[in-house]
């Protein structure tokens, strides 16, 4: 699918299909179109669609009418409109289409163009069955032209780059865990490094042992799949300090000795979506050639209940020198992240943001709409909230108070890997905060937003839009 900027008005477009936006209870200036709307009893609520053929005053073969509601839509309603467009294009087997200019409350043309390209491109993503004999042909849409008074495709290309990053994230998340192993993630990072001329380093278990990463290794030792610590760096801003993103990469989480219930355990292949998201962000940033320095760090393991797996009650020493009592082996994400966060100090980071499908508690708190946000720096938290709002990939900030940190006390180590007394999402972040005192840090818990269940089961690509927008705000 290709995207273009066009000066050609919808009325003069002679391709397969054109879009006409219609307000509710406001007569359209084209009387023939208005008559057809009345004849079809079209109710122009937000996202409603109607496909018409050979409408007088339009050169196109087909005209897709889309409702906008009572007035100029806000950004949330426009996202609904874009999803309606995508569904209508697919159902009608549209080959090429032109989309007119539209005014969105409190948003400029650049936002409209980049968002339109990103959402429609992301909607074209197809889940590929493993070793499928026939490719899933979801639709036949070949080209989308977006009307603009200027001829600059910069914002469209930005939207496409973010969608491409989301596609990588979604593909990695959707792959079964017998394919997407720590080794596979390392090979993916090496492939990105080759394609975009990035610096890539992959630490093996022997390297991590030499660095004292006993917490991370305590998770991987129960699996026949060796753990990896991947770092990938993009440098395009001189000697500026890098933004460092850390992505949790548990390619399958059985829970270890603290075994999870069998129901929905298959979804634990998605427990590496934090890792997938930072690799997706790297692809988007490199594709846009942004003037920033970015490093992504991916601790990746498989959590399995083998004879030599960690046991509840074990104590491990982290790379930082702090000790951890493992009360529950299913609280493994923080055990690999804490060593990765210590490792990040070598990059002299401007900020560090970790992204993890860390707790089920965040789903109880926030459902599937907002990602959870906690930070040791309020300016950083505010910047992420702003980026989430701009990208329509939102977060909700939760507290990080000392009272919660006290719930991590252990009689046998410096801390336990599980808090007592509820607030599971917050105590998990408090655990990580103990390893981030030397730099500005934020934590995103994406357990509720990284994938969907049910008939639309699959990775979402979040929070690639949020993180990419945050990085663009740093320029």
pLDDT per residue as tens, the chain (475 positions)? 899 999 888 999 998 999 999 999 888 999 999 999 999 999 999 999 999 999 999 999 999 999 999 988 999 999 999 999 999 999 999 999 999 999 999 999 999 999 999 999 999 999 888 887 766 555 689 999 999 888 889 999 999 999 999 999 999 999 999 999 999 999 999 999 999 999 999 999 999 999 999 999 999 999 999 999 999 999 999 999 999 999 999 999 999 999 999 999 999 999 999 999 999 999 999 999 999 999 999 999 999 999 999 999 999 999 999 999 999 999 999 999 999 999 999 999 999 999 999 999 999 999 999 999 999 999 999 999 999 999 999 999 999 999 999 999 999 999 999 999 899 999 999 999 999 999 999 999 999 999 999 999 999 999 999 999 999 999 9
Are residues 45 and 192 located together in one domain of the fold? Answer: no
pTM recorded for the entire structure: 0.96
Are residues 146 and 189 located together in one domain of the fold? Answer: no
Are residues 172 and 125 located together in one domain of the fold? Answer: no
Residue 86 confidence (pLDDT): 95
Instruction: Report yes or no: 125 and 165 within 8 Å, Cβ to Cβ.
Output: no
Q: CB 139: neighbour CB atoms within 10 A?
A: 18
Domain stops at, among 102, 126, 152: 152
Are residues 193 and 143 located together in one domain of the fold? Answer: no
How many angstroms separate the CA atoms of 198 and 40, rounded?
Answer: 56
How many angstroms separate the CA atoms of 394 and 268, rounded?
Answer: 23
Question: Which residues have CB under 8 Å from 246's CB, separation 6+?
Answer: 274, 278, 296, 297, 298, 299, 337, 340, 341, 344, 352, 353, 354, 355
Q: Is residue 158 assigned to a domain?
A: no
Q: Which of 253, 247, 251 is nearest to 360 (CA)?
A: 253
Are residues 195 and 144 located together in one domain of the fold? Answer: no
Residue 137 confidence (pLDDT): 59
How many angstroms separate the CA atoms of 225 and 183, rounded?
Answer: 8
Question: Which residues have CB under 8 Å from 349's CB, separation 6+?
Answer: 241, 242, 243, 244, 295, 439, 440
Q: In what order do the strands lie in the sheet with 2-6?
A: 2-6, 143-147, 96-99, 17-22, 62-67, 49-53
Are residues 64 and 176 located together in one domain of the fold? Answer: no
Q: Is residue 320 assigned to a domain?
A: yes
Q: Is residue 274 assigned to a domain?
A: yes
Give the range of the structural domain holding residue 410, as residue numbers without chain letter: 167-473
Q: Is residue 161 assigned to a domain?
A: no
Integer CA distances (angstroms), 265 to 253, 268, 271, 365, 443, in order: 8, 5, 11, 21, 25
Q: Which of 456, 268, 303, 460 is nearest to 371 (CA)?
A: 460
How many angstroms separate the CA atoms of 143 and 204, rounded?
Answer: 44
Burial class (CB in 10 A: 0-12, 13-18, 19+), 56: exposed
CB neighbour burial string for 141-150, b if at least 16 within 10 angstroms, e if fewer: beebbbbbee
Helix (H, G, I), strand (E, B) or coil at 453: coil
Q: Is residue 377 assigned to a domain?
A: yes
Q: Is residue 42 assigned to a domain?
A: yes
Helix (H, G, I), strand (E, B) or coil at 457: coil
Enumerate the active-site residues: 260, 334
Copy the structure tokens of residue 401. Answer: 């108070």
Please state the domain count of the chain. Answer: 2
Copy the structure tokens of residue 443. Answer: 């934590």
Are residues 260 and 116 located together in one domain of the fold? Answer: no
Are residues 256 and 181 located together in one domain of the fold? Answer: yes
Is the torsion defined by CA of 289, 392, 450, 86 positive or negative? negative
Instruction: Report yes or no: 335 and 348 within 8 Å, Cβ to Cβ.
Output: no
Instruction: Report yes or no: 281 and 296 within 8 Å, Cβ to Cβ.
Output: yes
- Which string of DSSP letters, residue by residue, matches 396-429? EE----HHHHGGG--SSSSEESS-SSS-HHHHHH
Residue position matching structure tokens 């593909």: 171
Integer CA distances (angstroms), 419 to 219, 326, 367, 371, 451, in order: 19, 11, 21, 21, 26
Q: Is residue 159 assigned to a domain?
A: no
Instruction: Report yes or no: 418 and 335 within 8 Å, Cβ to Cβ.
Output: no
């Amino acid at each position: 699918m290709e995207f273009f900027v066009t000066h050609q008005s919808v009325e003069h477009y002679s391709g397969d299909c054109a879009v006409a936006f219609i307000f509710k209870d406001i007569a359209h200036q084209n009387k023939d179109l208005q008559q057809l709307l009345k004849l079809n009893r079209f109710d122009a609520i937000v996202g409603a669609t109607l496909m018409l053929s050979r409408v007088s005053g339009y050169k196109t073969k087909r005209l897709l009418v889309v409702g906008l509601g009572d007035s100029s839509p806000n950004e949330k309603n426009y996202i609904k409109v874009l999803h309606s467009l995508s569904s209508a294009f697919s159902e009608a087997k549209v080959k090429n289409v032109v989309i007119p200019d539209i005014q969105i409350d409190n948003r400029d043309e650049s936002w409209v163009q980049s968002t339109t390209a990103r959402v429609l491109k992301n909607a074209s993503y197809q889940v590929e069955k493993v070793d499928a004999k026939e490719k899933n042909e979801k639709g036949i849409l070949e080209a989308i032209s977006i009307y603009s008074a200027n001829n600059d495709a910069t914002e469209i290309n930005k939207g496409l780059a973010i969608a491409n990053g989301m596609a990588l994230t979604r593909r990695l998340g959707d792959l079964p865990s017998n394919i997407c192993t720590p080794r596979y993630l390392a090979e993916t990072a090496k492939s990105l490094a080759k394609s975009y001329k990035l610096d890539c380093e992959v630490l093996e278990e022997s390297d991590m042992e030499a660095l004292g990463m006993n917490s991370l290794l305590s998770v991987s030792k129960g699996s026949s799949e060796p753990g990896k610590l991947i770092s990938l760096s993009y440098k395009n801003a001189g000697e500026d300090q890098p933004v460092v993103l850390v992505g949790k990469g548990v390619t399958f989480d059985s829970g270890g000795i603290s075994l999870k219930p069998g129901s929905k355990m298959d979804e634990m292949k998605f427990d590496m979506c934090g890792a997938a998201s930072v690799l997706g962000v790297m692809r988007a940033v490199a594709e846009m050639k942004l003037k920033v320095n970015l490093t992504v760090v991916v601790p990746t393991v498989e959590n399995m209940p083998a004879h030599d797996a960690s046991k509840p009650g074990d104590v491990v020493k982290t790379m930082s020198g702090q000790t951890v009592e493992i009360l529950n082996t299913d609280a493994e994400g923080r055990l690999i992240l804490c060593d990765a966060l210590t490792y990040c100090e070598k990059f002299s980071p401007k900020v560090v943001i970790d992204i993890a499908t860390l707790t089920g508690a965040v789903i109880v708190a926030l459902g599937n709409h907002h990602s959870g946000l906690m930070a040791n720096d309020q300016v950083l938290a505010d910047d992420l909230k702003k980026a989430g709002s701009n990208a329509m990939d939102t977060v909700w900030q939760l507290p990080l108070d000392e009272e919660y940190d006290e719930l991590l006390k252990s009689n046998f180590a410096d801390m336990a890997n599980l808090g007592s007394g509820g607030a599971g999402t917050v105590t998990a972040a408090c655990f990580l905060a103990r390893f981030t005192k030397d730099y500005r840090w934020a934590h995103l818990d994406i357990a509720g937003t990284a994938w969907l269940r049910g008939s639309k089961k699959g990775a979402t690509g979040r929070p690639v839009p949020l993180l990419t927008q945050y990085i663009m705000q740093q320029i």
